[in-house]
Structure 1
């Protein structure tokens, strides 16, 4: 897992200090899921395509470098599946 810095306002920090039981990471993930929902991205489908890309041998860095939206990730995975492997090629 990658840890990112998030800037919060002092009032947010104060509220979180008063309520230290609140999981700020969960709030952040929930906000991201809300943003995905606005853009009609299914988080489970995104996770599936990401996992499939990883299984095809792509690193996180390669995926991030070669995609900038869900449709790019989907194409990356599906294009790779359509390409024959060396074992599939036939000599004529």
Structure 2
């Protein structure tokens, strides 16, 4: 997991101090999911694409460097599936 810094207003800090049981990380993730929805990104679908790309050997850094929008991870997956590594075919 990557830790990011977030700027909050004093009223946010005050509310979190009053309600120290609140999970600020969940609020942040919820806000990100809402923004994804505004952009037409289904978070479950994105999670699936990320997992599939990682199963094919891509690191998060490679995915980040090779993509910049929601459809790009699927392109990486499709590209990898269309490539047949040399030496995999056997004539046994």
Q: For each residue in 1:10-59, what CA deviation from the matched residue of structure 2 results, as whole angstroms up to 9, or x when unmatched?
A: 11111110111111000011111111111111111101110011111111
Query: Hey, what does 1:43 align to over in structure 2?
Result: 43
Mapped pair 1:24 → 2:21: no
CA RMSD of aligned residues (A): 1.5
Cα gap change, 1:15/1:88 in structure 2, threshold over 3 Å: closer, same or farther? same
**How many corresponding residue pairs?**
90
3-state SS of paired residue (1:70): coil
Q: Which runs of 5+ in 2 are unaligned?
A: none
Given the two structures, how large is their TM-score scaled by the length of structure 2?
0.90
Distance change (3 Å), C-alpha of 1:14 and 1:72:
same
What is the match of residue 77 of structure 2?
77
Tell me how far 1:88 sits from its aligned partner. 3.8
Runs of 4+ aligned residues of structure 1 deviating over 3 Å after TM superposition are none
